[in-house]
Amino acid sequence: LFNRCIYMKETDSTQKVIKKLALQEAEAGVLALTERQSEGRGRRGRSWQSLDEKNLMFSMLLRPALKPGEVQLLNLAAGLAVKKTLRELCGIPAELKWPNDILCRGRKLCGILSEASGEPDRIYYAVTGIGINVNMESADIPDDISAVATSVCIESGRQFARWKLLVEFLDRFAGFMCLLTSRGGAAKLLALYRTSCDTIGKDIRVMQDEEVFNGRATDITPEGALVVQTGEGEKIFAAADVHHLRM
């Protein structure tokens, strides 16, 4: 799937770089990789900050045969691939928090953002961007996020070659994308996600816009939304922030 990699010492956002290439009719499989972003973007309009040369930040151009409403499935596939890579290559107990944050011992070390452009029935292109804290040490993590952020190095006690992590991730992600775009594959990918997502079965707090709900996460819908049993009955969240409560 991946055939071309653009490496930039610095850029505004690799999401933007890939979107420009998508509009110039670039083929699926292009990857933009950078050390430093001046306008790194996160989910729900947040920013994504990262120190240079220690982490991985990249975006991928995808042109899957999916409907825009199914773009969440790309997030789930990417989350599955990161979790698998971190467990198999780095030996850390990575957890997948719906929809696609990767945590270790309750702290976040990877964020994933998928954006798509298309018509109601078809995606023209999708951009999946990933930021993984790889070789940051405790002292590198800004004080204001030290309670909620971690890195592969902090969790495993050793440094990793970032290219190796990238290659191993791409290999696993290509496998999940192959499954997702095969006949009946979306259902199979969702079944894998349900068993791998650590949010399912947990007591959680969900924050959506200004509202807060407490409940137990019970399932994932075919579109990748989260089903939560709350005091007010069952609720379905297509996009929200989730916090795992201790059990």
Residues annotated in a binding site for biotin? 37, 41-43, 108
Toward ligand BTN, which CB reaches closer, 57 or 226? 57
Does 131 contact ligand BTN by CB under 6 A?
yes
Does 37 contact ligand BTN by CB under 6 A?
yes
Toward ligand BTN, which CB reaches closer, 106 or 222? 106
Count of CA atoms in the C-beta half-sphere (13 A) of 178: 8
Cα–Cα dist 88/220, whole Å: 25
Give 189: exposed, middle or buried? Use CB within 10 Å, 0-12, 13-18, 19+: buried
Does 43 contact ligand BTN by CB under 6 A?
yes
Judge contact between 30 and 170, C-beta under 8 A: no
Helices (H) and strands (E) in the chain, counts: 5, 12
Place of tokens 């190095």: 153
Does 57 contact ligand BTN by CB under 6 A?
yes
Beta-carbon neighbour count of residue 54 at 10 Å?
17
Cα–Cα dist 216/196, whole Å: 17
Q: Which residues are annotated as a binding site?
A: 37, 41-43, 108
Does 130 contact ligand BTN by CB under 6 A?
yes
Does 217 contact ligand BTN by CB under 6 A?
no
Toward ligand BTN, which CB reaches closer, 131 or 224? 131
Does 2 contact ligand BTN by CB under 6 A?
no
Toward ligand BTN, which CB reaches closer, 60 or 200? 60
Q: Which residues bind ligand BTN (CB under 6 A)?
A: 13-15, 37, 40-43, 46, 48, 57-59, 101, 111-113, 129-131
